[in-house]
Structure 1
Amino acid sequence: MTISTPSWDKNRFKLKDTQVSMKAVVTLANGGYEMLSYQDVAIPTPNDDEVLVQVLAAGVNNTEINTRLGWYSSKVTEGTEALGSNDAEQENAASESDGGWNEETPFPFVQGTDCCGRIVSVGANIDANRINERVLIRCSIRNEGWNSPENIWMASDFDGAFAQFVKIAASEVFAVESDWTDAELGTIPCAYGTAENMIHRADVSAGDTVLVAGASGGVGSAVVQLAKRRGAIVTAIVGANKVEEAAILGADRIVTRGTDLVEALGEKSMDVVIDNVAGETFGQMTQVLKRGGRYASSGAIAGPIVSLDMRNLYLKDLTLIGCTGWDEPIFPNLISYIERGEIKPLLAKTFPLQDIAQAQQEFTEKKHVGKFVLIPPALTDEQKTLFELSDD
C-alpha cells in the first residue's frame, strides 16, 4: 500500500460562515515562538481511506522545534538550543527551502508528532465500527510500502496533532487497550517509536553492552527502558542533576555528561551506542565501541557536524546506522509492550495546548526527565453535536 503526501490548500484553515471550527496551533513560517498561532480553523474532513481523530493528548518533541527553526537546513551547523538564540543562523535557515525533513516544509501547517486520541469519524472505505476507538497514531509513514526506505512524517510533511482534531490514513491508527491516562499515552509515539527503531536496527540482544547518550530525554529514557526489556546491560549518560532518575529507569551504570567516555568506560567496551546527541562527543562514541560494534542515531541535538576518525570505522569494522523511517514491526511492538505492561510512561508535565510556547521554552531548557504533553481544550457543544459525541 502506498500513501501519497497530501497536496495542501493554503486556504484550508479558513472558516466558512456556517462551519464548526476547532482550536489549533498553526505554525506560520520558520522562526521563533511568534510563529506559533493559536487560532480557530476548519475541522479537516477525512478522505475515503482516512479517519478523523479527536486529539486527547499531544507530546512535545525536538523535531517540532527543529522544523519551526529550520534546523534541518544544510545552512545550520549548531545544535537546537544554540540555533534558538542565533539570529544569523535562523535567518540563513529560513532563506533556504531545505529546513524540513523531506521537501520544503509546508507552511502554514499544524505540527504535533505525538497523538493519543479517539476516532470520531471515518472515510467511506473504513469500517464505521472503528468510531470511538482509543488510539495512538504512527507518525512515521513508509508511504511507498515497506520495501522502500522512503518515508513521510505527520507534523513535518502534513498537518499533525497540535489541534483538537487530526485526519490521517486509517492504516496508521492503532487501537490501544490500557489503563494509562491520555497524557501518559501521549508520551509514546515519536520518542518510543524512534527508540525502538534504533534498538531494532542495531539488533540489541540480551547481554549486549549498550551506551545511551541523552538518557534523560524523551527518546533516551525510552531507549533505556526498551534496551533493558531486551536484557541488555545499559550505561546511561545524563546530567549530574538527573542521576537518580536514570537509576529509576533501570540503567546499570550511569555516567554524567561531560565525562571523558574513553577514560570512564575504556576503549572497546560497548557493543552498541544509541546516540541522539552527537556534537563533540561523537569521536569518543566510536572509540568505546568494540570491534564489530553498532552505532545508531536519529538525531543530533548537540550539533550535526561531527568529526570521524575513519580508522576507527574501518579498522574496527563498525556499523553506523541512520534511523528515520520506522520498520514495520516497530509500532505494533510498542502497542503490545503497553498492553502487556512491559514499559512505563515517563510524563514530566502537561500544558494546555494554548500554552505551547511556554512548553517549548521549558522543553529546550532540558531540566526535565521524560516528556511534556499538550492537552487540547474540551470539545464545544457544537463539536459534540457534529460528531454525535457524549460527555463520557
Structure 2
Amino acid sequence: MMAVVTTGNGGYDKLSYQQVPTPTPGPGEVLLRVLAAGVNNTEINTRLGWYSASVKSDTRASADAFDDSAENAADAEDGGWNGATPFPLIQGTDCCGEVVALGAPGEEGANASVTADLLGKRVLVRACMRTRGFDHWDSVWMASDFDGAFAQFVKVPASEVFPVDCDWSDEELATIPCAYGTAENMLHRAGVSAGDRVLVTGASGGVGSAVVQLAKRRGAHVTAVAGSAKHEAIRALGADRLLDRDDDLLASLGESSIDVAVDNVAGKGFGGVLEVLDRGGRYVSSGAIAGPVVELDMRKLYLKDVRLIGSTAWDEPIFPDLIGYIERGEIRPLLARTFPLAQIVEAQQAFLEKQHVGNFVLLPPPLD
C-alpha cells in the first residue's frame, strides 16, 4: 500500500510518501480501507518533537526553526504523547474508513469486539484508546503510539471502531474524531451546561470551531475569539459574540464575565483569559498553539477559586455521544479543504498558515 511514513523528528523532509506492506489484523483487530484522514496540529507537533519539555515556542515557530535540507533534529525522548515517538511511524489521527478484513475474535473483553457484522461498515476510529479501561488514565493514541491513517489501509482494535449511519461524505466524517473528540472532552470535563458563559479562544481552528458548535448544542452563551476575517463563518456556527485576536479581553468583556474558558491558544494571552473568569470559573485546555509556557499570577487562581482543568485522555461517553450527534443531525462538519495524500507537505504548510476555518482532509490514492 501507499503511505506517508514519518522517519523522525524534524522538518518536512521527514515525511516520506512510499510503498509499505499492508498490515494484517491480529486477534481483536480489524483492517480498514482508509477513505479519508484529517490533518491536525498533533501530527505536526509529534513530528517536531514539540511535546518535549525542552520546547518553549509555539508550533509555527518550531516548524520554521527546522531547515528541511539538513539532518538537524535528534529524536526527542519526551517528544510524543507517551514519551519517545516510535519512528518510523505512519501518522494520521483522524480516520474515516471501511472495515475490509477481520482478525480472530480474541478471548475476552475488547478482543471479543471482532464480529462479522462489522465487515463492510463505514466507521470512525476512536483515536484515544484507554488501554486499562476508563477507571485508569493510561491511554495510547493512534498515529502517535502506533501506525495511523495516512495510508491506504490501517489496522486498529475492533473495540475502537464506531459504525456511523449518516449522509455525510467520507471527507466530512474525517473532520470529526480528533477535533470534536477533544472539544467534547473539554466541555464534558468542565461541566458546561445551559446558560454557562463560555469563552472560546482560537475559535476558527478545528478544535475551536468544534467547541463553538458543541457548546451551543449544550445551550451555552458563546463568546468566540478569532481573526476578524473569519467572524462570519464562526457566527454561522452559533457564536453569540465575536472578538478579534488582538482585542483586550478585560476591556471588551469586563471582569468576572465568563464561567468557562476553553483555551487552546495559551501563550501571552493566558493571563487575560484568567482575568475575565468569574469566581469559581473553570479554565480548560488541551493545547497551546501560541506557546506552552505562560505567566500565571497565582492570586488570580486562588482568590477567584478558579479550577484549572487539563484534558487529553477522552472520557468514556465522548465518542459514542459524538456518533449520536452526527446521526441526529445536531452538529455539522467544517471541511475547509482536501488534498491528495501525496501532497501532505502542501497540506501541512497551508494548515500552519491558519487562513482556514475548520479542518483539512487527506485522500489516499484509489486502490489498483
TM-score between both structures, scaled by the size of structure 2: 0.96
Kindly provide the amino acid, as one letter, of the partner of residue 301 in structure 2.
Answer: L
Q: Distance in 1 between matches of 2:364 and 2:130?
A: 28
Q: Distance in 1 between matches of 2:169 and 2:60?
A: 30
Is the 8 Å Cα contact of residues 75 and 84 (structure 2) preserved in structure 1? no
Query: CA deviation digits over 1:206-232, x for unaligned, max 9?
Result: 000000000000000000000000000
Percent of paired sites with the same residue? 66
Is the 8 Å Cα contact of residues 76 and 93 (structure 1) preserved in structure 2? no
User: What is the DSSP-based 3-state SS (H/G/I as helix, E as strand, rest coil) of the residue aligned with 1:135?
Assistant: strand
User: What is the DSSP-based 3-state SS (H/G/I as helix, E as strand, rest coil) of the residue aligned with 2:168?
Assistant: coil
Q: Distance in 1 between matches of 2:255 and 2:304?
A: 11
Q: Distance in 2 between matches of 1:45 and 1:84?
A: 34
Structure 1 partner of 2:272: 284
Structure 1 partner of 2:101: 121
How many Å apart are 1:304 and its aligned residue?
0.1
How many Å apart are 1:150 and its aligned residue?
1.4
Picking from 63, 87, 104, the partner of 1:84 is 63
Q: Distance in 2 between matches of 1:248 and 1:29?
A: 40
Is the 8 Å Cα contact of residues 73 and 93 (structure 1) preserved in structure 2? no
How many Å apart are 1:95 and its aligned residue?
5.0
Is the 8 Å Cα contact of residues 235 and 252 (structure 1) preserved in structure 2? yes
Equivalent residue runs for 1:101-250 within 5 Å: 101-125=81-105, 126-250=114-238
Query: CA deviation digits over 1:54-77, x for unaligned, max 9?
Result: 100000000000000110111100
User: What is the DSSP-based 3-state SS (H/G/I as helix, E as strand, rest coil) of the residue aligned with 2:94?
Assistant: coil
Query: CA deviation digits over 1:186-216, x for unaligned, max 9?
Result: 0000000000000000000000000000000
Is the counterpart of residue 266 in structure 1 residue 254 in structure 2? yes
Is the 8 Å Cα contact of residues 294 and 321 (structure 1) preserved in structure 2? yes
Picking from 315, 325, 328, the partner of 1:340 is 328
Q: Distance in 1 between matches of 2:272 and 2:52?
A: 26
User: What is the DSSP-based 3-state SS (H/G/I as helix, E as strand, rest coil) of the residue aligned with 1:146?
Assistant: coil
Is the 8 Å Cα contact of residues 193 and 220 (structure 2) preserved in structure 1? yes
Picking from 323, 326, 335, the partner of 2:311 is 323
Picking from 25, 29, 34, the partner of 2:13 is 34
User: What is the DSSP-based 3-state SS (H/G/I as helix, E as strand, rest coil) of the residue aligned with 2:252?
Assistant: helix
User: What is the DSSP-based 3-state SS (H/G/I as helix, E as strand, rest coil) of the residue aligned with 2:20?
Assistant: strand
Q: What is the count of residue pairs matched by the alignment?
A: 358
Q: Distance in 1 between matches of 2:357 and 2:211?
A: 13
Question: Which segments of 5 or more consecutive residues in structure 1 lack a partner in the other structure?
Answer: 1-21, 381-392
How many Å apart are 1:93 and its aligned residue?
6.5
Q: Distance in 2 between matches of 1:278 and 1:326?
A: 21
User: What is the DSSP-based 3-state SS (H/G/I as helix, E as strand, rest coil) of the residue aligned with 1:145?
Assistant: coil
Q: Distance in 1 between matches of 2:66 and 2:131?
A: 35
How many Å apart are 1:87 and its aligned residue?
3.9
How many Å apart are 1:86 and its aligned residue?
1.8
Is the counterpart of residue 66 in structure 1 residue 45 in structure 2? yes
Q: Distance in 1 between matches of 2:115 and 2:224?
A: 45
Is the 8 Å Cα contact of residues 113 and 139 (structure 1) preserved in structure 2? yes
Query: CA deviation digits over 1:108-147, x for unaligned, max 9?
Result: 0100000001100011102222110100000011111110
User: What is the DSSP-based 3-state SS (H/G/I as helix, E as strand, rest coil) of the residue aligned with 1:183?
Assistant: helix
Kindly provide the amino acid, as one letter, of the partner of residue 93 in structure 2.
Answer: T
Query: CA deviation digits over 1:342-363, x for unaligned, max 9?
Result: 0000000000000000000000
Kindly provide the amino acid, as one letter, of the partner of residue 101 in structure 1.
Answer: W
Is the 8 Å Cα contact of residues 266 and 290 (structure 2) preserved in structure 1? yes
Is the 8 Å Cα contact of residues 75 and 92 (structure 1) preserved in structure 2? no
How many Å apart are 1:281 and its aligned residue?
0.4
Structure 1 partner of 2:337: 349
Is the 8 Å Cα contact of residues 198 and 296 (structure 1) preserved in structure 2? yes
More displaced stretch, 237-246 vs 330-339: 237-246
Root mean square deviation of aligned Cα: 1.3
Kindly provide the amino acid, as one letter, of the partner of residue 233 in structure 1.
Answer: H
More displaced stretch, 95-104 vs 342-351: 95-104
Q: Distance in 2 between matches of 1:154 and 1:24?
A: 15
User: What is the DSSP-based 3-state SS (H/G/I as helix, E as strand, rest coil) of the residue aligned with 1:42?
Assistant: coil
Structure 2 partner of 1:56: 35
User: What is the DSSP-based 3-state SS (H/G/I as helix, E as strand, rest coil) of the residue aligned with 1:355?
Assistant: helix
Question: Which segments of 5 or more consecutive residues in structure 2 lack a partner in the other structure?
Answer: 106-113
Structure 2 partner of 1:99: 79
Is the 8 Å Cα contact of residues 49 and 75 (structure 2) preserved in structure 1? no
Query: CA deviation digits over 1:259-298, x for unaligned, max 9?
Result: 1101110111000000111000001111110000001100
Change in 2 beyond 3 A, CA 1:92/1:77: farther
TM-score between both structures, scaled by the size of structure 1: 0.90
Structure 2 partner of 1:372: 360
How many Å apart are 1:91 and its aligned residue?
8.5
User: What is the DSSP-based 3-state SS (H/G/I as helix, E as strand, rest coil) of the residue aligned with 2:215?
Assistant: helix
Q: Distance in 1 between matches of 2:36 and 2:234?
A: 25
Q: Distance in 2 between matches of 1:296 and 1:129?
A: 39
User: What is the DSSP-based 3-state SS (H/G/I as helix, E as strand, rest coil) of the residue aligned with 1:291?
Assistant: strand
Is the 8 Å Cα contact of residues 71 and 93 (structure 1) preserved in structure 2? no
